Amino acid sequence: MRIDIITVLPEMIEGFFNCSIMKRAKDKGLAEVHIHNLRDYTEDKHRRVDDYPYGGFAGMVMMVQPIESCINALKSEREYDEVIFVTPDGEQFDQPMANQLSLAKNIIILCGHFKGIDYRIREHLITKEVSVGDFVLTGGELPAAVMADAIIRIIPGVISDEQSALSDSFQDNLLAAPVYTRPADYKGWKVPDVLLSGHEAKIKEWELKMSLERTQRLRPDLLEDK
């Protein structure tokens, strides 16, 4: 899979993809992440990518030309499954969406900045608008990194123990069961006896019971469709 991220602040996220699981995915050849500086595509001699909004509104707006030029340059080299704009008013990003996007071959993620982007970009160039939550950030760089991490980590082979990813929260509309490690007794805080029993069927039963209990208590909305 290949993810192209368009941003005015490439230095904000470059290091993120050179560490831990993201670096492992790149080293294994399972995922490519390419970060593009939008200022490299502007026709403005001062490398500006924003201008004042029509109508006298406050703030600055990202212009059409640099974004169209960048997207067109990428599309001239390959086909893309999605051109995603990360925005607070987009469709909520969740685990099912991450699962779906992990099956794609090529994705573009556009990071907004300033007051936002010229709406014509959203009308003519974007295929999917995605939000990571009902809040506003300075730019789309952090949401883009969050999305890329969630998508790449579930590509087969990225995580050594694939069952670990499959048992994460939200994979089955359930929160994950509690997990414990050694020592079994720390200052009187004990690991549940069932996890020490070696009885696989009972452990699976406990895991499902705890997942349902935690989901009902913390995120009952996840059970509405079950």
- Binding residue numbers for S-adenosyl-L-methionine: 112, 132-137
Q: Which strand (E) or helix (H) includes residue 110?
A: strand 106-111
- Sheet with 2-7, edge to edge strand ranges: 32-37, 2-7, 106-111, 82-92, 128-131
End-to-end CA distance of the chain: 32
CB 223 within 8 Å of CB 216: yes
**Closest Cα partner for 2 from 84, 99, 80, 69?**
80
**How far, in Å, CA of 57 to CA of 118, rounded?**
13
Residue that has been written with the tokens 């991450």 in this structure: 98
* Nearest-10 crossing angle of helices 20-27, 141-152: 60
Feature table: binding site: 112, 132-137
**Closest Cα partner for 35 from 66, 3, 5, 8?**
5
Three-class DSSP category at 45: coil
